[in-house]
Amino acid sequence: MAIPFNATSNTMMQESSISIPTKVIGPVAIVGEEVNANVNVPLATLEKPMWPSTNRGASVSRHAGGIHCHILNDSMTRSVLLQGESARYLQHVIHDLSKKNSEIQRTIQTTSHHIALKDWHWQVVGNLLYFRLEVTTGDASGHNMVTKAADALLQWLLAEYPKLKYVSISGNYCVDKKVSAVNGILGRGKYVVAEINIPRAICIERLKTTPEAIVNLHIKKNLLGSSIAGGVRTANAHFANILLALYLATGQDAANIVEGSQGFVHTELRDSHDLYFSVTLPNIIVGTVGNGKELDFVRKNLEMLGCHANTHPGSNARRLAIITAATVLCGELSLLAAQTNPGELMRAHVDYERGQAIYREPHPTTTITS
């Protein structure tokens, strides 16, 4: 991101801020080994129907036994880009590096006590080497931490293999804030699955639709619609909406909704009449320490979420990722249910945005419950 500065004095311009309406929805009922609680969730958005809609999903979570959440992978990545004299030389470098994991680990740990090597991967194009570093970063989202580690690794690589030449600290094989296939395959951020079993009666009563209608819409909209649109590793209705609202409320890097929104909804009929509903988000990138977390509203929201506790490093960020996935499920479930009924989606937007019948003046501390 470019930083505005005064060309004459070479100093940054005066800082200002913007205000985004924020409401607290929930509680969202979450079940699991890492988070087992009912959690109120702040959402910052200009799209007013998101609050009551996501809150409807939260209500379903409480009446259906909770949302089960699981973190399957946890890492942050950066790919450095180097140039060699030939592909044959790069083949030698890669083979040699496969025996030097301990040296790579020592090199990156000189940059932080909270970073650890998890894995690395490579791609070669001609005489170019793309080296993708995968690390764990504790409670930080890890953008700067992994870049600092990659910078140290670059210096070590250039010293260890003198025929290599520097091209870039980031070779776009990371992949940071861009649509890709590699992030979902190899991992970037926290890979979280959230799932819930919804009895038929609750589906009809709370969502005003049937399990069959939601499964049918998911197939025809999320799966087939995303396919004909050329979607890359994505089959969902609006993951990005919920991610952005929660990221803004908790001081995250909002641009990470690009890779974060690449995820899947999966639905099934259970026992011929109940609804299994899940969301899979391979790239949730969140932190509870670092840039932006010093802001007062961010600190208060993290405390409300239980993500500001004095606990094992990494636990707060993992809790936030789980809450994020569960909230995405609430929003996704409610929107898909609404779209099974002709006119419901548009009526909601007219009522809450144009008519402003209920939420006329959002207040940063307002809580919605039902």
Look at residue 97 in the predicted model and tell me its pLDDT. 99
Task: Check whether residue 69 and residue 105 sit in a common domain.
Answer: no
DSSP state of 343: T
Look at residue 14 in the predicted model and tell me its pLDDT. 78
Task: Check whether residue 31 and residue 88 sit in a common domain.
Answer: no
User: pLDDT category, 307, cuts 50, 70, 90?
Assistant: very high
Contact 256, 247 (CB under 8 A): yes
Task: Check whether residue 244 and residue 263 sit in a common domain.
Answer: yes
Task: Check whether residue 274 and residue 333 sit in a common domain.
Answer: yes
Q: Which of 137, 168, 199 is the last residue of a domain?
A: 168
Tell me if 62 is assigned to some domain.
yes
Q: Domain with 141 in it: what CATH number? A: 3.30.70.420
Task: Check whether residue 40 and residue 61 sit in a common domain.
Answer: yes
Look at residue 365 in the predicted model and tell me its pLDDT. 42
Task: Check whether residue 62 and residue 97 sit in a common domain.
Answer: no
Catalytic residues: 47, 253, 349
- Taking 90 as the threshold, does the pLDDT of residue 4 lie above it? no
Tell me if 2 is assigned to some domain.
no
Q: Domain with 233 in it: what CATH number? A: 3.90.770.10
Task: Check whether residue 113 and residue 50 sit in a common domain.
Answer: no
Contact 34, 190 (CB under 8 A): no
Task: Check whether residue 28 and residue 90 sit in a common domain.
Answer: no
Look at residue 100 in the predicted model and tell me its pLDDT. 98
Task: Check whether residue 309 and residue 352 sit in a common domain.
Answer: yes
Average pLDDT over residues 82-101: 99
- Write down the pTM of the prediction: 0.92
Q: Which of 124, 139, 168 is the last residue of a domain?
A: 168
**How many other C-beta atoms can be found within 10 angstroms of the C-beta atom of residue 325?**
30
Name the nearest CA neighbour of 131 among 110, 107, 157: 157
Q: Which of 118, 134, 168 is the last residue of a domain?
A: 168
Look at residue 10 in the predicted model and tell me its pLDDT. 60
Tell me if 126 is assigned to some domain.
yes
pLDDT digits (tens, 9 = 90+) for 154-169: 999 999 999 999 999 9
* 347 vs 309, higher pLDDT: 309
For residues 256 and 317, give the distance between their C-alpha atoms in angstroms, rounded to a whole number: 15
Look at residue 6 in the predicted model and tell me its pLDDT. 52
pLDDT digits (tens, 9 = 90+) for 334-367: 999 999 988 777 887 677 777 654 443 333 444 4
Tell me if 9 is assigned to some domain.
no
Percent of the chain with pLDDT strictly greater than 70: 92
Look at residue 8 in the predicted model and tell me its pLDDT. 54
Task: Check whether residue 200 and residue 281 sit in a common domain.
Answer: yes
Average pLDDT over all residues of the chain:
93
Which CA distances in Å does 299 have to 10, 256, 287?
A: 32, 20, 12
CA 218 centroid distance within chain: 21
* 282 vs 17, higher pLDDT: 282
* 360 vs 196, higher pLDDT: 196
Tell me if 198 is assigned to some domain.
yes
For residues 215 and 220, give the distance between their C-alpha atoms in angstroms, rounded to a whole number: 9
pLDDT digits (tens, 9 = 90+) for 32-86: 999 999 999 999 999 999 999 999 999 999 999 999 999 999 999 999 999 999 9
Sign for the pseudo-dihedral over CA of 68, 72, 74, 80: negative
- Residue 129 neighbours by CB under 8 Å, 6+ apart: 81, 82, 83, 84, 90, 93, 94, 122, 123, 164
Give how many domains the chain has, as a whole number: 2
Look at residue 228 in the predicted model and tell me its pLDDT. 98
Domain interval for residue 144: 75-168
Task: Check whether residue 59 and residue 96 sit in a common domain.
Answer: no
Name the nearest CA neighbour of 238 among 204, 279, 277: 279
Look at residue 361 in the predicted model and tell me its pLDDT. 39
Tell me if 13 is assigned to some domain.
no
- Residue 270 neighbours by CB under 8 Å, 6+ apart: 197, 276
Tell me if 257 is assigned to some domain.
yes
Task: Check whether residue 280 and residue 151 sit in a common domain.
Answer: no
Look at residue 351 in the predicted model and tell me its pLDDT. 75
* 361 vs 140, higher pLDDT: 140
Average pLDDT over residues 119-148: 98
Which CA distances in Å does 194 have to 18, 101, 161, 197?
A: 32, 34, 45, 11
Tell me if 249 is assigned to some domain.
yes
